[in-house]
Structure 1
Amino acid sequence: MIVRCALLLVVLWQLVGCAVNPATGRTDFVMMSERQEIELGQRYSQEILKQYPRYPDEKLQTYVQQVGERVARYGHRSQLQYRFTVIDSPDINAFALPGGHIYIHRGLMAYLGSEAELAAVLGHEVGHVTARHSVRQQSQSTAWNILGQAVAVGTGVGVAGDLTNVLGGAFVSGYGRDMELEADGLGAQYLARSGYDPQAMIEVVKVLKAQEDFARDQAQAKGQEVPPSGYHGLFDTHPDNDTRLRQVVAAASPLASGQGEVGRDVYLRQIEGMPFGDSAAAGVRRGQRFYHGGLDFTLAFPPGWELINRADAVIVHAPDQQAFVVMSLEPLAQQATAQEYLARRAGRQQLVQQDSFRQAGLEVATGVVPGSAAKRVAVIMREKQAFLFVAAVKGHGSLESQDAQFLEVIRSFRPLQAQERELTEPRRLRLVQLKPGQGLEALSGQMSVEGDPLTRLRLLNGLYPGGQPRPKAWLKMVR
């Protein structure tokens, strides 16, 4: 047994690789060649496009690609073929895949205020790629898993393998503060060398800090828990007055040749007209209703409930997130009644409390899957499409406690009416120049947003919670 364990550890040692990090000059533990890294990124990129649609504005896509290439040209791995993509999502996020695939959500772009800030976000992500952070994480995780298997086989105790995997997962979970700060420093260098103002790093941190403050204030006003940061870790691991962050930005500043470029006007012109919040392709929320022009339907959700609009499903949930309804769309491969379809989907699971009826001219079937975690299920048939609903209560809550709300959501589904077509169009960003003597309070009356328009106007323009704009400043509006 000792010999077998020793042999497995020898195999582990042979799998271990060390390489000089091109960005830091340090020797890193890696188990992947650059070619394998690129191939891995290509595979992941195909999965990303299945989950996150590409924003259908090629002019903006070209602009972001040009800004990203300008920054990446001065990176430590300029030989990589970088691909910068805008994702058609209102989320505040950006991320990088191995090998140079970098993504930014249009939701984040709406809150940035200059080309330099865009370059700062992209530069940070380039920093993750050049320092091979994802490769180092995967290599460490793989090594822990292999070591866990070696210990499990060598000792005959399977728990040892499980324990080692847990330790390895904890060790590599998230990029961590050091890697994020390292990406900040590298991004600031690339920013300065490419002619942008490296202080834009600090400005992006302020944008993200304002988002966190806004989310906290909104949650507290509703008596809810403060939601976690939507960002994957970029910048939000440190506040804008973080000494170490300011040090890495200051260290990069001498690399800039002359006054660093900011590019506020050109950036604002590029994003003018961009959807704010939901897009027409994904469907639009208006108050407590959801409208989808392409799929020709609308549905409502109860007061206080919230809606999550994903590429593969629409999810509505109660304020405490313990009750939820998931609606997905499935093509009909063969003709079937609503009851037949629901029975086929239920498979061996028994359906009780079954009912069928017509709703807005559409055939509907519903029932309950009993058990300790009972579910309300329903299907609405329309031509060659099946709109499938699954509703449940988390934990030990009973289905009966929320079933009336579930049925309310299901029964609200119907085709669009002619006068509702305009509600399927998204709100868009518009530029407005502040007139002499005009205050934000008066200007906010022109905003078309959910909630407090003045608060959203401040947040959109880097003035949250109580900042004031410069005279005659161009401001982003939502209309």
Structure 2
Amino acid sequence: MAAIRCLFKVVILVLGIGFVSCSRNPVTNNWEFMLFSQQSELEIGQQYDEQMKAMFGIYHDAEIQSFIDERGKQMGAISHRPYLNYQFRILDSPVINAFAVPGGYIYFTRGLLAHLNSEAELIGVLGHEMGHITARHALARQSQNKVARLLLIGGALVSDEIAQFANIASLGLELVFLQYSRNDEREADRLGVEYSAKIGYDASRFADFFQLLVQMNLEDQSGGIPTFLSTHPDPGNRYESVNQAADQWKQQLGSEEWKINRESYLRMINGMVYGDNPRDGYVENHVFYHPSRRLFFRIPNGWQMHKSLGQVKFMPNDGSAMLLFVPVEGSNLRNAAMENLSQMGLEATEGGSITINGRPALAFEHQATNANTQNSEPMTIRSVFVDFFGSYYAVHGIASASRFDAMRSEFENSMNSFQQLTDPNHLNRAPRRIRIARVPQTTSLERALLSLGVGSDQIAKIALLNNMDLAETVQRGEMLKILGR
């Protein structure tokens, strides 16, 4: 019956799509409708991988990367799709998340790695993400969503929809930050436990990590990037079901020893950057400093900074205006400006040549409307492009046309303050890092942290970082995570 239902969907769409098929799911062996061939899946993965590396940057740590590569290849070999060439990346983001892309690409943020407390927890997350790939969750959901949309709107718009869908580059990040269904999560949990156990790890530790995420009560997004529980919803009773599945696999495999390896993991992440990295920009006393790019400029009082995918945005609390700072590329300043304006959907004009603190610059002003919103008020955009010793940067001031004149002086004050950073106090600003310390004597976690120099206002946060209660007893010589420079 499942095969017949799948065939019915194919008959509806086969005339308008280059590849449509029913195929057996590698995990369940059930028939499912699939818009993607294996070759197109690999192509999607390769293109997404380039996007992810460009947008987030890679966090370089040879030791932990080597560990993940080795265990990941070992796990891939016993998975339901051992023929995939699995690739593993550590992204330079403080957001706590991990995600998988079709074709075998698995990503961990350094924010997630900093909050794990053992090899077993990491292997559990790795197995969970590999489960999403082996069960083809993202591709199946995309196929189903597109079919549902086509069946609702009828045949007239099919070609446009499919043309857009078939254009891999137009997919943006929807497959990366797709919210899985609870059934998908249950299956990925089950597969994560199975894969972890089969390479010798205590899969019950995977449940501890999910319990920590619930305690942390993370927001849905950080810097515009979804956090783990927003893309991996709790299917219900996760802690109990993961522990139960882990016990079943322990009995089935019959091993006497299951790896946890807490101390070896903590040694691996010793020195890892924690939280936002000031090297990528920070605000102090209404000034934005970017030590890595050796520049700074003023921002309006009371405006908040938001970093997101290579851009830095500054906005008042009511969101009524925005300053947008972004590096731009081109063969020269004018070429870089034209390309950036085109990407923003703004008509490229000649622009006026100006000088900002001795650096050549171009200034533009545009009015634009949102083509997707009817009766929307036009926006006015003031853009300045600066040639900063051979690197090009844009600062855009954006507000509604009716509000722009009131904001003009704020925008221009920020743009005209753009200059080279030479103050060593700001140039040498260092990020916080994970530091591993040993408990000096057996006592409560709270007393141990205080004795290690953790401030009383930080001990609750550091307790969560270690996934421990403050009243919990820690033994002399036990390793703990604290924060340092």
Do Structure 1 and Structure 2 share a fold, with TM-score over 0.5? yes
Residue 444 of structure 1 contacts residue 453 of structure 1 at CA under 8 Å; is this kept in 2? no
What is the distance in 2 between the residues matched to 1:342 and 1:25? Answer: 48
- What are the Cα deviations for residues 174-208 of structure 1, in whole angstroms up to 9, with x where unaligned? 32111011101110111112111111221110232
Alignment correspondent of 2:273: 275
Which of the numbers 49, 60, 83 marks the counterpart of 1:79? 83
What is the distance in 1 between the residues matched to 2:52 and 2:45? Answer: 10
What is the distance in 1 between the residues matched to 2:336 and 2:200? Answer: 62
Structure 2 residue 127 is the aligned partner of structure 1 residue 123: yes
Alignment correspondent of 2:307: 309
Offset of residue 68 of structure 1 = 2.0
Structure 2 residue 45 is the aligned partner of structure 1 residue 41: yes
Residue 197 of structure 2 contacts residue 246 of structure 2 at CA under 8 Å; is this kept in 1? no
Question: SS of the residue aligned with 2:267?
Answer: helix
Alignment correspondent of 1:415: 420
Alignment correspondent of 1:208: 213
Alignment correspondent of 2:251: 254
Offset of residue 378 of structure 1 = 2.5
Q: What is the TM-score normalised by the length of structure 1?
A: 0.77
Equivalent runs, 1:384-395 vs 2, <5 Å: 384-393=390-399
Structure 2 residue 379 is the aligned partner of structure 1 residue 382: no
Provide the aligned C-alpha RMSD in A: 4.3
Equivalent runs, 1:164-313 vs 2, <5 Å: 174-212=179-217, 215=219, 230-231=227-228, 233=230, 235-238=232-235, 244-255=241-252, 257-279=255-277, 282-283=280-281, 289-302=287-300, 304-313=302-311
Question: SS of the residue aligned with 1:439?
Answer: helix
- What are the Cα deviations for residues 84-125 of structure 1, in whole angstroms up to 9, with x where unaligned? 111122121111111211111111101111111111111100
Alignment correspondent of 1:96: 100
Query: Are the structure 2 counterparts of residues 289 and 8 from structure 1 closer, same or farther at C-alpha, using a change threshold of 3 Å?
Result: same
Offset of residue 81 of structure 1 = 1.7
What is the distance in 2 between the residues matched to 1:330 and 1:358? Answer: 17
Alignment correspondent of 2:374: none
Alignment correspondent of 2:439: 434
Question: SS of the residue aligned with 1:398?
Answer: helix
Query: Are the structure 2 counterparts of residues 333 and 113 from structure 1 closer, same or farther at C-alpha, using a change threshold of 3 Å?
Result: same
Query: Are the structure 2 counterparts of residues 151 and 212 from structure 1 closer, same or farther at C-alpha, using a change threshold of 3 Å?
Result: same
- What are the Cα deviations for residues 363-399 of structure 1, in whole angstroms up to 9, with x where unaligned? 56656535721223223332323321112247x9723
Offset of residue 60 of structure 1 = 2.3
Query: Are the structure 2 counterparts of residues 241 and 181 from structure 1 closer, same or farther at C-alpha, using a change threshold of 3 Å?
Result: closer
Alignment correspondent of 2:4: none
What is the distance in 1 between the residues matched to 2:87 and 2:300? Answer: 42
Q: Identify unmatched segments of 5+ residues in structure 1.
A: 1-5, 160-168, 220-224
Letter in 2 for 1:269: R
Question: SS of the residue aligned with 1:174?
Answer: coil
Which of the numbers 125, 136, 139 marks the counterpart of 1:135? 139
What is the distance in 1 between the residues matched to 2:77 and 2:205? Answer: 18
What is the distance in 1 between the residues matched to 2:310 and 2:259? Answer: 40
Alignment correspondent of 1:323: 321
- What are the Cα deviations for residues 34-84 of structure 1, in whole angstroms up to 9, with x where unaligned? 333223322322222222212222232111112222333332122222111
Letter in 2 for 1:454: I
Structure 2 residue 480 is the aligned partner of structure 1 residue 475: yes
Query: Are the structure 2 counterparts of residues 370 and 13 from structure 1 closer, same or farther at C-alpha, using a change threshold of 3 Å?
Result: closer
Query: Are the structure 2 counterparts of residues 332 and 195 from structure 1 closer, same or farther at C-alpha, using a change threshold of 3 Å?
Result: closer
Q: Which moved more, 1:119-128 or 1:377-386?
A: 377-386
Letter in 1 for 2:214: K
Query: Are the structure 2 counterparts of residues 416 and 190 from structure 1 closer, same or farther at C-alpha, using a change threshold of 3 Å?
Result: same
Query: Are the structure 2 counterparts of residues 338 and 93 from structure 1 closer, same or farther at C-alpha, using a change threshold of 3 Å?
Result: closer
What is the distance in 2 between the residues matched to 1:23 and 1:340? Answer: 49
Letter in 1 for 2:228: Y
What is the distance in 2 between the residues matched to 1:469 and 1:463? Answer: 9
Which of the numbers 305, 327, 331 marks the counterpart of 1:333? 331
Letter in 2 for 1:470: V
Question: SS of the residue aligned with 1:294?
Answer: coil
Residue 96 of structure 1 contacts residue 128 of structure 1 at CA under 8 Å; is this kept in 2? yes
Residue 395 of structure 2 contacts residue 415 of structure 2 at CA under 8 Å; is this kept in 1? yes
Offset of residue 308 of structure 1 = 2.8
Query: How many positions carry a matched residue from both structures?
Result: 447
Question: SS of the residue aligned with 1:78?
Answer: coil
Offset of residue 231 of structure 1 = 2.2
Alignment correspondent of 1:108: 112
Q: Identify unmatched segments of 5+ residues in structure 2.
A: 1-9, 162-173, 369-377
Residue 208 of structure 2 contacts residue 239 of structure 2 at CA under 8 Å; is this kept in 1? no
The percent of aligned pairs where both chains have the same amino acid is 26
What is the distance in 1 between the residues matched to 2:457 and 2:420? Answer: 30
Query: Are the structure 2 counterparts of residues 40 and 415 from structure 1 closer, same or farther at C-alpha, using a change threshold of 3 Å?
Result: same
Residue 91 of structure 2 contacts residue 109 of structure 2 at CA under 8 Å; is this kept in 1? yes
Q: What is the TM-score normalised by the length of structure 2?
A: 0.77
What is the distance in 2 between the residues matched to 1:341 and 1:142? Answer: 32
Alignment correspondent of 2:167: none
Residue 284 of structure 1 contacts residue 290 of structure 1 at CA under 8 Å; is this kept in 2? yes
Q: Which moved more, 1:281-290 or 1:42-51?
A: 281-290
